[in-house]
Amino acid sequence: MSDTMERYLAPVIILVIILIAWEGLVATLQIEQFLLPRPTIILSNLFQVVHLSPADTTATDEELQNALKGNQLVVTIPAKASPHLTEALTSAAIIRLPWFNSSLLLLQGKNLSPILQAAWYTLKEALGGFIIGCGAGIVVALVTSRWVGTREALMPFAIAANSMPIIAFAPIANNWFGIDNPFSKMFIVAIMVFFPVMINLVRGLTQVDANSLELMRSYAAGDFEIIRKLRIPNALPYLFNGLKIAAALSMIGAVVGEYFGGPRIALGVFITQEAALFRFSSAWAAIIIACMMGITLYLIIILLERLAMPWHVSFR
């Protein structure tokens, strides 16, 4: 087995074990659904899995249709199915299994479309805020690292601001920009991501090895050349650390910002509404999508990091 396979296999196995334990414990301890729904119930909001085995002909057509409408995950299908059922089956993705001449059907869950729609809306807010905040952080860091006086005047405020719960300003931002205006969430996200990016980048631009600087000075290099050829490459690992923090913060900022109000198609609003209506499995499904978007953003940053600095110690 290759190293990469091994590296990814272990976490996947742990995830599967956690999901099975969750499912099993909720069922055996008879935990109420509104406290903690089973993973299969949560996932059925997004998609349903139907197991087909032509050998098994015991279930009736009617039982099958009911099973498909509900959240039942594994059913078997008789040799002959009604046209209605066949239609549902042909519109689904079919995954053939190598055992017992059987296959899996992947059907769209009843809440997939509204959740995805809301997720897309919230993702745009998060990305918008991420780009504005990180862009501003990078510009300010480059400017302040150039002028020592400005940096020393600004850094204490930046560090103080970085430890403030900026999300607390969300109701104010809603008031400023309008509760349904996506910019009210982008604003909060931008402020949240600005400080970690700026502080990390300033650190990277200024914490340069003394000999490396002396070397540049011995070549009579100008300030601009020192920034371009030494400070910026030196700062890349710091910048990406800031961007990773920002990626996680941007999803938090957008979703939590929406908890304080927003249009009905936003993910945060969707989650609060579903929870208020006791549709907890649906709320859980939306939360899982939010988590997956956050993880995806983070992974994209890691990919960019590898492309930008293949020389770095962490990739050896």
Partner 1 sequence: MTNLAVSIKSLHKIFNQGSNNQVHALKDIDLDIAPNEFVSLIGPSGCGKSTLLRVVGDLVSSSSGQVLVNNKSAHQARLDRDYGMVFQSATLYDWRTVAKNVQLPLELMNYAKDKKEARTREMLKLVELQDFHNHYPWQLSGGMQQRVSIARALAFEPSILLMDEPFGALDEMTRERLNLELLSIWEKTKTTVIFVTHSITEAVFLSTRVIVMSARPGRITQDITIDLPQPRNTDTRENVRFFQLETQVREALRESERMSV
Interacting residues toward partner 1 by CB under 8 A: 209, 211-212, 214-221, 225, 229-230, 233, 236, 309, 311-313, 316
Give the bridge partners for 47, in sequence order.
Answer: 108
> What whole-number distance in Å separates Cα of residue 213 and Cα of residue 181?
48
Rounded Cα–Cα distance for residues 36 and 28 (Å): 13
Of the pair 87, 214, the CB lying nearest partner 1 is at 214
- What letter does residue 77 receive in the DSSP assignment? -
Rounded Cα distance, 109 and 70, in Å? 10
Closer by beta carbon to partner 1, 19 or else 142: 142
- Least distance in angstroms from the C-beta of 185 to partner 1: 37
Sign of CA dihedral 283, 285, 286, 290: positive
Give 99 or 315: the residue with its C-beta nearer to partner 1: 315
Please say which residue, 58 or 218, places its beta carbon nearer to partner 1.
218
Nearer to partner 1, 99 or 311 (CB): 311
Shorter beta-carbon distance to partner 1: residue 1 or 210: 210
CB 137 to partner 1: min, Å: 22
Beta strands in 143-201 (DSSP E): none
Helix, strand, or coil (residue 103)? strand
The whole-angstrom distance between residue 299's C-alpha and the CA centroid of its chain comes to 9
**Closest CB 38 distance from partner 1, rounded Å:** 49
Beta-strand pair 93-96/47-52: unpaired
Least distance CB 6 / partner 1 (angstroms): 24
- Min separation Cβ 240 and partner 1, Å: 13
Helices (H) and strands (E) in the chain, counts: 13, 3
CB of 310 to partner 1, least distance (A): 9
- CA 308 – CA 204 distance, rounded (Å): 15
Q: Which residue's CB is nearer to partner 1, number 87 or number 209?
A: 209
Nearer to partner 1, 99 or 224 (CB): 224
Residue 213 Cβ vs partner 1, minimum distance, rounded to whole Å: 9
CA angle, 169 as apex, 166 and 173 as ends, to 5°? Answer: 125
Residue 104: strand, helix, or coil: strand
- CA–chain centroid gap for 15, Å, is 17
Which of 200, 190, 148 lies closest to 169, judged by CA?
A: 190
CA atoms of 22 and 39, how far apart (whole Å): 7
Minimal distance, residue 245 CB to partner 1, in Å: 22
Q: Beta strand 93-96 with 103-108: parallel, antiparallel or unpaired?
A: antiparallel
